[in-house]
Amino acid sequence: MAIILRLDRMMADRKMSLNELSVKVGISNVNLSNLKTGKVKAIRFSTLEAICDVLDCQPGDILEYERDEK
């Protein structure tokens, strides 16, 4: 099971930089960068809600499920 983060795609679509998003969401650049690159194991719903609010998107626009091949 793999959850793929598409935050970079949404940011590009909205022409928003990492710095701008981190300020508007209220989390550090480092934490947002880790989220963007998929180096996190969890995300708080409050953070996801803030990102969706700023980017005007749905959680499904940022998160994608990919089934493992067996």
**b/e burial code for range 39-64 (CB count within 10 A of at least 16 → b):** eeeebeeebeebbbebbebeeebbee
Token couple for 45: 């719903």
- 2-66: CATH number: 1.10.260.40
Q: How far is CA 60 from the centre of its chain?
A: 10
Token couple for 12: 């590009």
What is the predicted pLDDT for the residue at 1?
53
Return d(Cα 1, Cα 65) in angstroms, integer.
Answer: 7
Q: Domain locations in the chain?
A: 2-66
Give the containing element (helix H, strand E) for 5: strand 2-5
More confident residue, 68 or 8: 8
Q: Which of 1-5, 31-35, 52-56 has the highest mean pLDDT?
A: 52-56
pLDDT at 8 over 60: yes
